[in-house]
Amino acid sequence: MRRVITFTAALSLAAVTAMAGNVVTAVKVKSLKNLQCGAKLVRKHAKFVPVTLYPQTTVKLNDKKALELNKDAKAKVAEVAAFTDGKNVAIIMRWPDKSKDVYKGYESDSYPDGFAVQFAADASNPQKLPYIGMGSDGRPVEIFIRKAYGQGVYEPNGNGDVAHQVNEHNTNYFGKGLKKFKKEVKKLGVLPYQRAFVSEGFRSMTEIKDGSVNYRTDMHYVNKKGGMWGGMVVKPLKDAYAAPSKNELAVAVAAWDGKELQRDGLKRLSSWIAVKLPGAKNKALEAVVTEKAKGDVANGKKEFETNCASCHRDRNFQNAPLYMAPGLENIGGQTTAAYIRESILDPNAVVVPGYNRNAHPNFAWYTVDDKGNRTSTMPPFNYLDKKVVEDIVAYLQTQKAEVAK
């Protein structure tokens, strides 16, 4: 019970720093060893910043029921804070969720709540951050995922799965040996579902299983204020897959709502967040994650209709075929102005992987040459007037779901 009480207090006591945009200051502490997301330290010293999570609408999941449930999905405002002990970083998030959905075993159509924290492998060039949907060729990310699993539930596809399928009568264990075996199985059953991945695009996700990243996660539900999750990832500041640059980290967060049948790519996610470690003086990353393009939105809308709406859908234009190109309904909430600008001028810089090419052969988003290089099927619009590009960028920044009341 204690945990829940302290976490509840955290919700009411911690000051949410109202800063413009996704900029989080990591607070220096002595140790992160026993830290939990509802700890006193968090309550007293965390500098939470509101970060909005927008529904993923780039690609549509092949599930009618889930599509219907998520058709008009609204955005949610989470709170994000960070701590560091000089060697490790803790990213803490809290987000509203009215229903606590915990994985209950092998039920179909039942999905658990969960969250993910994504780190850009390298944020030294903030103009070229990785694609928010799990990185892209040459711009990898490191991702940590935690799902709400009930105690004693064996995780599918993990070590626990083996244990689950082993029927004790079919083992060679007897007497004391069987007792020991059962104990081992039980232990596996209470392991939380937590995973680390490296990724250069959502079909290249590779699990880090070799123990090369010494990380830890935590997840607690608080049934106050209509329901709220707290989550935390603690990991080395610098590991084999990601490192800070100029005392800054580019981080993004995501949340799955089991009630909305969310899983895999169907989730809400933030744009890049600049996490400033002690000694961070550079303003470049901060400038990129908070940039609001200065173009003329009304003219951008017109230019979008002329140049882009034949392929892309957004909140105003829905005439393009469904699988033709990424849905831009939430592009303004999930990316930076720099990313949108780059997408227009140089589509090959980041090629969004799109749908399974076998399932949708007429809607390939790229071609592949002999050497395996991908070329986007979107033509570069580098011939457009600079002002027109800025107008379109400003327009696309308005493309995002409203926040749920």
Among the listed ranges 66-74, 96-104, 248-256, 376-384, the one in contact with ligand HEC (CB under 6 A) is: 376-384
Closest residue by Cα to residue 307 from 361, 315, 299, 363:
299
Two tokens, residue 6 = 């302290």
Residue found under tokens 């882009």: 308
Among 78, 123, 311, 394, binds ligand HEC (CB under 6 A): 311
* Burial class (CB within 10 angstroms; exposed 0-12, middle 13-18, buried 19+) of 306: exposed
Q: How far is the CB of 351 from ligand HEC (least distance, A)?
A: 5
Length of the chain: 405
CA distance 139 to 218: 28
Among 14, 92, 237, 325, binds ligand HEC (CB under 6 A): 325
Q: How far is the CB of 401 from ligand HEC (least distance, A)?
A: 15
Q: What are phi and psi of 333, to 5 degrees?
A: -95, -15
Cβ atoms of 15 and 36 closer than 8 Å: no
Among 228, 237, 254, 308, binds ligand HEC (CB under 6 A): 308
Q: Write the DSSP symbol of residue 245.
A: B
Tell me: does residue 352 bind ligand HEC (CB under 6 A): yes
Residues touching ligand HEC: how many (CB under 6 A)?
A: 23
Two tokens, residue 263 = 């899983």
Among 46, 274, 344, 394, binds ligand HEC (CB under 6 A): 344
Among 119, 347, 390, 397, binds ligand HEC (CB under 6 A): 347
Tell me: does residue 399 bind ligand HEC (CB under 6 A): no
CB count within 10 Å of CB 340 equals 22
Q: How far is the CB of 210 from ligand HEC (least distance, A)?
A: 31
Q: How far is the CB of 353 from ligand HEC (least distance, A)?
A: 8
CA distance 91 to 83: 7
Among the listed ranges 69-77, 109-117, 166-174, 339-347, the one in contact with ligand HEC (CB under 6 A) is: 339-347
- Residue 135, SS3? coil
Closest residue by Cα to residue 118 from 137, 91, 154:
91
Tell me: does residue 310 bind ligand HEC (CB under 6 A): yes
Tell me: does residue 331 bind ligand HEC (CB under 6 A): yes
When the beta carbons of 123 and 396 are compared against ligand HEC, the nearer one is 396
Tell me: does residue 392 bind ligand HEC (CB under 6 A): yes
CA–chain centroid gap for 332, Å, is: 16
When the beta carbons of 220 and 312 are compared against ligand HEC, the nearer one is 312
Report the interface residues with ligand HEC, using CB under 6 A. 58, 307-308, 310-312, 325-326, 331, 340, 343-344, 347, 350-352, 365-366, 376-378, 381, 392
